[in-house]
Amino acid sequence: MRAIKKLFKYLFAFGVVAALLGAAGGFVAYQHFSKDLPEVGTLRDIKFQTPLRIYSKDEKLIAEYGENKRTPVSYEQIPTNFVHALLAAEDSRFFEHNGIDIKGLARAAYQLASSGKIKSGGSTITMQLAKNFFLTRERTFDRKFREILLSLRIEQELSKEEIFALYVNKIFLGHRAYGIQAAANVYYGQDLSELSIAQLAMIAGLPKAPSANNPISNPKRALERRNWILKRMHTLSFIDDQQYEDARTEELSAYRHGADIEVDAQYIAEMVRSKLFSEYGESLYTDGYRVYTTVKSDLQTTANHALQQGLLAYTERHGYRGPEKSFSEAERQDEENLLKTLNKIGNVSDIEPAVVVSLQDKNIEVLRKTGDRVTINWEQLSWAREYKSANRQGAKLKKAADAFKLGDLVRIQLRTAEAKKTKKKAKDTATEAPQQVWHLTQVPSVQGGLISINPKDGAIVSLVGGFNFHHNKFNRVTQAIRQPGSNIKPFIYTAALANGYTPATLINDAPVVFHDDQLESNWRPENYSKKFYGPTRLREALFKSRNLVSIRILRQVGIRNTLSYLENFGFDKDKLPHNLSLSLGSADMTPLQVVQGYAILANGGYRVSPHFIERIEDSEGNLIYQAKPVTVCEDCQFIDPEQPPVVTLPGQQITSLPLAERKVDKQSSYLIYNMMQDVIKRGTARRALVLKRNDLAGKTGTTNDQKDAWFSGFNRNLTTTVWVGFDQPATLGRREFGGTAALPIWIDYMRIALKDQPESAPVPPEGIVSVKIDPKTGLLATPGQSNALFEYFREDDAPTEMAAQSDKQQGGSETEDIF
């Protein structure tokens, strides 16, 4: 008995010593492993790498930049079914343990002892969080012990809900998707809250092996993993029998979705990216900035369509350049491979490649990428006369075979056919509903740009820098330096008005010769019509775009004075020609510079600066930048919110935005606006009368040899410039002018942009009077004169002398549009 007691004593003593040694060893191990563990409190302030996102003014996504797709969500935003799916897949006792699953650890320890490797980690969600944020991915005891210690600390620092949200926002889920919301977007193109139980279970199966269990690259394995999770959810009573059966039998629906781009504004997006990259560097793509531009999504969509259709109309006017390539009969017979080849050829905007597979007398049948066959009828292909040059085409087509062969690779576009009127009775007509038809077209070699701004603050509401950004990223609005031709004349005329000229001032439209010792021959400028019309009023000279009048105006006002005045419109006089060719638009300008100048003509004479970023927010939604553009607000009082209040006059408006500086006096601003309205009513832009508005003004522009075509026009609320030309300057064709190539694009855009908008023409300001004049002399009309007309003048400049009796109209009705 004594021997047994003695044995127990020794065993007890040994146990105590062993326990003490174990505790000491554990303490030493704890001290060793914990001394360099990171501070888990930093998880509260963690910032996930999220991409740069760029939005329109009305908060529609334009672009996303960054390698990692991630949209962090809070725990409250996570569907309960996903919580259950992830628990079933990864850690069913997550809400019960303290960060350590003893059973799982025991299993891992046994594997390590028996094989020297850990085959199944037994890691909890908390342990995986610790590993993802703080540790390497190596499978060693040392790393595992640190993981356990970190998990215990995390559980003390954060709530279960915080841990869960951090985990699901951090994890990589394949195809550049980080976090569950990004996975929902990439695989299903939907918000997380919109997914079915089966889809949520599919995403819950990805953390363990995002490649092996991927529904896109390995659908069979992904389906097995999903169904196993659903079975676990059912076993754990997370879903009932019916939910389980419905989810288990649901077909796979995942495929790769790109960013959910809502507005095609890639030229603006690149402008934003380039500007901010110079300020933020590489962090721009990972810090989750949200940039809201000044672009209005509806106007941007309208601008895209107007420019693209205008350029397509030009290219179709000039003839068919032939197929992009041809497929042999053998290649056509192997339709499977033919479709594979066809699908490797990219669309350009909505212009698809297609192969001619059948020829009839008046139509062709083509094979699309989808495998569908569609018919192109005669009305949609008869334009395709052979292109020979910008000025020449082949003979009109008599049958489809005149232009096409079997196997030709062509381009097609779905368009809305023009509505046709059909007679119902003798006097009644009915309009057929418009139909969608496939139209033969071709990718244009001609290019163009459109920019539209709010003239009151310079906000760019739409911008298209070319036919298609992905086809050619060169931004012609901001980078194309071209001659504006007659588009510059309104600025020259405004300088004249500010220097005492009136709309009725007579300038002689007559031949003129200039000698320059540096030139081998004399300069003999002329009107496009090669005619001369004698004394011409300023107003008429502008709306008929008379070149010789513009030259004489510049000569009389003075080149130096005019150059100085043009600085009011934002032009750098040192970069403008210091000779008379300036009056014909020989300067080099971008459409952006031109539209800035026209905005001053539109807003009553105030200088505004084009801008495209309205505000910037960080990843938490905090405002870090808000644009404060100079703004036109006549008779407003500027109030600085950071300064003490100031006294304002009764009824006076106040604004916290800086006020735009007046650069053109009220009277000159009104007179040039009114004169430019006649460009549309009676001049080179008469096509715009189709808009049936009385508040529009503008000016066409065409350069030598028709290398550039322009139209810039506006009302008080919207200013838009359109340019058309080739990137490598070449003639557009002798019948292509600003009024034929650029103006139709402007009209198509403004028709929609101004729809349902009230007219906003300026009213004559104080100091402007209307006087009845003789159109031939610009003097006061005689009593009862039949051809008299009203003209606006500064009160001090109104004529006081009466014209001699005359019933003759001033000759020359031709309008010019060149230079």
Cross-sheet strand order for the sheet of 708-714: 460-464, 447-453, 719-725, 708-714, 697-702
Query: Cβ(721)–Cβ(451) under 8 Å?
Result: yes
Residue by residue, DSSP assigns 154-172 as HHHHS-HHHHHHHHHHH-B
**Distance between CA atoms of residues 216 and 256, nearest Å:** 7
Query: Cβ(477)–Cβ(267) under 8 Å?
Result: yes
Query: Cβ(449)–Cβ(474) under 8 Å?
Result: no
Q: What angle do CA 659, 661, 664 make, to 5 degrees?
A: 140
Is the backbone of residue 239 left (phi > 0), alpha (psi -120 to 50) or beta? Answer: beta
**Distance between CA atoms of residues 26 and 82, nearest Å:** 38
What's the sign of the alpha-carbon dihedral 321, 325, 329, 334? negative
Long-range contacts of 547-550 (CB under 8 A, 24+ apart): 547/486, 547/583, 547/584, 547/816, 547/818, 547/819, 548/509, 548/510, 548/511, 548/512, 549/507, 549/508, 549/509, 550/486, 550/489, 550/492, 550/493, 550/583, 550/584
**Distance between CA atoms of residues 152 and 134, nearest Å:** 14
Residue type, 404: F
**Percent helix, percent strand, percent coil in the chain, to nearest 5:** 40, 20, 45
Alpha helices in 67-140 (DSSP H): 80-90, 102-115, 125-134
Nearest Cα neighbor of 590 from 736, 738, 718, 712 is 712
CA dihedral defined by 16, 17, 22, 23, rounded to 10 degrees? Answer: 70
Q: At what angle do helices 591-603 and 489-498 cross, to 10 degrees?
A: 40
**Distance between CA atoms of residues 809 and 433, nearest Å:** 48
**Distance between CA atoms of residues 457 and 76, nearest Å:** 41
Q: Write out 355-386 in H/E/C secondary structure.
A: EEEEECCCCEEEECCCCCEEEECHHHCCCCCE
The single-letter DSSP state of residue 125 is H
Host H or E run for residue 712: strand 708-714
Cross-sheet strand order for the sheet of 373-376: 373-376, 364-367, 352-359, 409-416, 436-441
**Annotated catalytic residue 90:** yes
Query: Cβ(700)–Cβ(679) under 8 Å?
Result: yes
Of the candidates 90, 540, 617, 736, the residue annotated as catalytic is 90
Of the candidates 297, 452, 486, 583, the residue annotated as catalytic is 486
Which residue bears the tokens 């604004």?
Answer: 655
**Annotated catalytic residue 486:** yes
Nearest Cα neighbor of 46 from 125, 154, 174, 148 is 154
Nearest Cα neighbor of 594 from 578, 570, 564, 611 is 570
Which residue bears the tokens 């959910």?
Answer: 260
**Distance between CA atoms of residues 289 and 331, nearest Å:** 49
Query: Cβ(342)–Cβ(408) under 8 Å?
Result: no
- Adjacent-strand bridge partners of 793: 769
Question: Which are the catalytic amino acids?
Answer: 90, 486
